[in-house]
Structure 1
Amino acid sequence: MKLKLSICVLLLFCIPLGHAKSCQIDRVTSSQLKLSSSYLSQAATSFMVSCDTRYAIQFSSRNLTNSSGSSYLVNETNHKLRTQMNISGASGSRWNVPLSQPAGTNDKFVVLVQLLERPNVLTPAGSYKDNLYVSLMF
């Protein structure tokens, strides 16, 4: 059985609200998270945000199932493997909800993904994917 489990951080973007303020996203550690095909394997990415004004940050994924970060990886034939995603560095670990943050320099955010299903001999081989989206509103 050969599984390739990955989560792509496809979109990291800023949406300015109102007049121009200075916000920056940098030091992204990885744009693609690769999980091993073993039960409870984990992968993480981190990045820094610097804003001279209050801002909101929103985390989402294509396969998100609730605001607690439950999601799944899916292969070409639509077979699913459950995952759990967690956020640290924000004022909460809620998904698909704008999280208000105070102005600051070098705020570090970490997204951790964990495989919750145990692949076995009946798990179809293939590439299993999800997409992670991060929106910064200021």
Structure 2
Amino acid sequence: MKFKLGLLILAMCFSKLGYAGRCQIEKATASQLQLSSSYLSQAATSFSVACDSNYAIKFSSRNLTSPAGNSYLVSDRNHKIRTQMFISGATSSRWNTLISQPAADQTKFVVLVQLAEQPTASTPAGLYKDSLYVSLIY
């Protein structure tokens, strides 16, 4: 049985609050991640943020279930498989929370997704998806 997992990633939102200097997201390494069907398989993407003033960044996903990065992939038949997501590069690793960041020429962020559930022979084959959102507020 072939089992394919996918994660759509980096639908980025930008907002301006008050005075805003230059702020941009650049050097994204992947817009789509593929996980294998084995327990604890991982996939990651990275991107850089350059801001000439302090800013806030928020990471969330369509299927997020906790601020610790617990989420799940869902198939077109609504079958779910649990995932765990991690953030590095931010001053904290909280999901769906504004994270204050200092101004910097370039701050690299990495988002890692890990399969947190063992697929079994009875797991329906198909494409399983989640969407990751990165909001930058400056």
| Counterpart residue number, 1:27 | 27
SS at match of 2:7: strand
Q: Any idea what the Cα deviations from partners look like across 1:21-79, whole Å, max 9, x if unmatched? A: 10011000000011011110000000000000000000000000000000000001111
Gaps of 5+ in 1: none
- Deviation at residue 84 of structure 1 after TM alignment: 0.1
Shift of 1:19: 2.6
Aligned length: 138
How do residues 90-109 of structure 1 correspond to structure 2 at under 5 angstroms? 90-109=90-109
Amino acid at match of 1:9: I
Partner of 2:79: 79
Question: 5 Å matches for 1:1-138?
Answer: 1-138=1-138
Aligned counterparts of 1:7 and 1:59: Cα–Cα separation in 2: 15
Calculate the aligned-residue CA RMSD, in Å: 0.8
Contact preservation (8 Å) 1:3, 1:128: no
| Percentage of identical aligned residues | 63
In structure 2, C-alpha distance between the alignment counterparts of 1:63 and 1:110, rounded to whole Å: 19
1: CA distance between counterparts of 2:106 and 2:36?
A: 30
How many angstroms does 1:10 deviate by?
A: 4.5
TM-score (norm. length: structure 2): 0.97
**Unmatched 5+ residue regions in structure 2?**
none
**What amino acid maps onto 1:41 in structure 2?**
S
